[in-house]
Chains A and B, each alone.
Chain A
């Protein structure tokens, strides 16, 4: 499966993509600088030199804690936010080179589903227009066919078509998320970027929506970039999991490999700290420290101030992604100490 995928062209690919947000100095600060205040522009490296390819039909999970840049990367790859460095390619074509009809087609093919449907649904519009407006504008359906088209979609995502003339506030959270999904599907996308799409839902509703995502994948041949902080969800539905920390990818592998054999100390911590019903441990062994501010990320490996295994090299040199096993890469200097690590593994039982 992996080999077959490797030969095909990625649907969307990020090549050394960076995204920086900076705040320019205002007049007062510029004047202060003339007097030698030495103020600098504040720049956040939300995404820092990331490579990520998503192949057709794949479900890629992007996990990490708040501020790690996973949402920003998702937006850049969906084409709704420009990269500040590097290149995003859609079916091999750089996004920046797409013009006219190609650009429009790409925009329609990559749709996003957000965490809070209420903030993405216009409260003054009826469901029929929320879902039907985009396909009508883009000529996918005519005005006369719109109602039937929307009703079919609504039925598919589990909404009662008799509710089409209602407003978003008349729906529950789970139903609103279904409206958001129907709206994304209405323009016949290839790629769905789901940004924390099930995070706000109760566990039972979350299961319903996740099942819907999986059914739609089969039915419409969709590709997903599934952004979540919830490792349990990601493990369940993804073909590949990418772990980010402070703007960088630290590890990427298949879920089974990642959960059974995590290489990066950060991934190991995330998996260990995940509270689960099955494993009712009474002891917590949290990793120390805060997630550093992306305004002033630590030098070297971003994780080193919190890492229990950090050594001198981690403080100065940025680790690069290296392949540990087929399809399993991680960015950690411990990889170069493989021999040392295996001896350690016997002394220290696996997590």
Chain B
């Protein structure tokens, strides 16, 4: 089965006065049909810019400087803006952390949804309204007919995020890119949204890229996980494998920094230091300054190793007896 999305050697740089800021640096990955992929990393690791790059949403001074983004075989980077518009929102949709970024505060939810339907399909207003109502119902909004006439501020945070998801679903896209969509929500509401997303993705056969800093959320939701650090994917593989037997020291560092990793009351084990500034990253492995396993060889670029469905970039990966 051909993958929905194939990203090859993607590099997105921001041209600043102090030089090129390599937000995304030679990133390659694929997303299979109906696959849920979690993209995790700390702030500034380039995970959101990766998502924006796929949809062509990087504004100057940022620019995709290299790579291919093959969506169902077509390179999105070679497409005209007009052709891109027929894909964005129709075949690939995006959900943001803050639904107020997606929603226009002065238009009713119904108006915005009908507009979204009619932007891609030549249908009557009545039919567009019908489709909007169905979408709201799908994501679990009570009395969708009445809610179509409500304005965004009349919804709670969790309901607003449901509206944003409903808008993303309007055209039954092949791929949804979700950028930290539950980060701002409370635990019980987050759980409801994760439940709905998982159900809907399965029901409509959508692929999903779930960008998050929360390993717990990705662990519960995704089939595969990609860990980003300083603009690169440092490790990728099945969720079960990566989280139980991480190969890259950064992945294991993230996993042991959470409070649950040590007995109650004992000191936590943070990764020493902090992420390097994207303008002055060390040569070779960007993690080497913080890594306990680093040696001289880490000053050279680690190649991507692929072993048993796992990819990682490290000269000194963790070894697991089973592997």
By a CB distance below 8 angstroms, the chain A residues around B264 are: 235-236, 255-256
In the bound assembly, the distance between CA atoms of A184 and B215 in angstroms comes to 32
Minimal beta-carbon separation of A219 from chain B (angstroms): 14
A231 close to B (CB within 8 Å): yes
B194 touches A274 (CB 8 A): no
B239 close to A (CB within 8 Å): yes
- On whether A204 and B270 interact (CB within 8 A), knowing A66-B186, A287-B188, the answer reads yes
- On whether A236 and B268 interact (CB within 8 A), knowing A203-B254, A269-B188, A290-B158, the answer reads yes
By a CB distance below 8 angstroms, the chain B residues around A65 are: 186-189
B159 touches A236 (CB 8 A): no
B68 close to A (CB within 8 Å): no
B239 touches A280 (CB 8 A): yes
- On whether A204 and B220 interact (CB within 8 A), knowing A229-B187, A256-B264, the answer reads no
> Among A202, A236, A286, which residue has its beta carbon within 8 angstroms of that of B42?
A202
A85 close to B (CB within 8 Å): no
> Among A66, A232, A280, A285, which residue has its beta carbon within 8 angstroms of that of B243?
A280
B 195-222 binary contact with A (CB < 8 Å = 1; else 0): 1001000000000000001111101100
A299 close to B (CB within 8 Å): no
A276 close to B (CB within 8 Å): yes
In the bound assembly, the distance between CA atoms of A286 and B182 in angstroms comes to 14
In residues 163-195 of chain B, which contact A (Cβ within 8 Å)? 186-192, 194-195
B213 touches A202 (CB 8 A): yes
B20 close to A (CB within 8 Å): no
Which chain B residue lies CB-closest to A287? B188
Q: Give the tally of cross-chain contacts (CB within 8 A).
A: 123
In residues 294-317 of chain B, which contact A (Cβ within 8 Å)? none
B258 close to A (CB within 8 Å): yes
Q: Which of B189, B194, B254 is packed against the most chain A CB atoms within 10 Å? A: B189
B274 close to A (CB within 8 Å): yes
B260 close to A (CB within 8 Å): yes
A278 close to B (CB within 8 Å): yes
A 258-295 binary contact with B (CB < 8 Å = 1; else 0): 00000000000110011111101110111110110000
A273 touches B258 (CB 8 A): no
B43 close to A (CB within 8 Å): yes
Number of interface residues of A (CB under 8 A): 42
A174 close to B (CB within 8 Å): yes
A275 touches B254 (CB 8 A): no
A140 close to B (CB within 8 Å): no
B 116-130 binary contact with A (CB < 8 Å = 1; else 0): 000000000000000
A282 touches B220 (CB 8 A): yes
A9 close to B (CB within 8 Å): no
B265 close to A (CB within 8 Å): yes
B43 touches A277 (CB 8 A): no
Which chain A residue lies CB-closest to B270? A207
A208 close to B (CB within 8 Å): yes
By a CB distance below 8 angstroms, the chain A residues around B274 are: 172, 174, 204-205
By a CB distance below 8 angstroms, the chain A residues around B269 are: 207
> Among A208, A256, A277, A288, which residue has its beta carbon within 8 angstroms of that of B258?
A277
Q: Which of B215, B270, B274, B275 is packed against the most chain A CB atoms within 10 Å? A: B270
In the bound assembly, the distance between CA atoms of A191 and B70 in angstroms comes to 56
By a CB distance below 8 angstroms, the chain B residues around A256 are: 264
- On whether A284 and B191 interact (CB within 8 A), knowing A202-B43, A204-B42, A277-B215, the answer reads yes
A277 touches B270 (CB 8 A): no
By a CB distance below 8 angstroms, the chain A residues around B43 are: 173, 202
- On whether A275 and B214 interact (CB within 8 A), knowing A174-B274, A203-B257, A233-B259, the answer reads yes
A211 touches B270 (CB 8 A): yes
B260 touches A290 (CB 8 A): no
In the bound assembly, the distance between CA atoms of A268 and B226 in angstroms comes to 32
- On whether A236 and B265 interact (CB within 8 A), knowing A211-B270, A277-B258, the answer reads yes
B192 touches A286 (CB 8 A): yes
A204 touches B259 (CB 8 A): no
Which chain A residue lies CB-closest to B266? A236
A25 close to B (CB within 8 Å): no
> Among A66, A204, A255, which residue has its beta carbon within 8 angstroms of that of B253?
A204
B 214-255 binary contact with A (CB < 8 Å = 1; else 0): 111101100000000000000000011001000000000111
A284 touches B213 (CB 8 A): no
In the bound assembly, the distance between CA atoms of A235 and B253 in angstroms comes to 21
B187 touches A277 (CB 8 A): no
The 4 closest A-B pairs by CB, nearest first: A275-B216, A207-B270, A236-B259, A65-B186
List 23 contacting pairs A-B, 8 Å CB cutoff, sorted by A: A66-B186, A173-B43, A174-B274, A202-B43, A202-B275, A204-B271, A205-B274, A206-B257, A207-B268, A211-B268, A236-B264, A237-B259, A276-B216, A277-B215, A277-B219, A277-B258, A277-B260, A278-B260, A280-B239, A280-B240, A280-B243, A284-B198, A286-B195
Q: A66-B157, A281-B220 are in contact. List 18 more A-B contacts (CB 8 A).
A: A66-B186, A202-B42, A207-B257, A207-B269, A208-B268, A229-B187, A232-B258, A232-B259, A235-B259, A255-B264, A275-B190, A275-B191, A275-B214, A276-B219, A277-B260, A280-B243, A287-B191, A291-B156
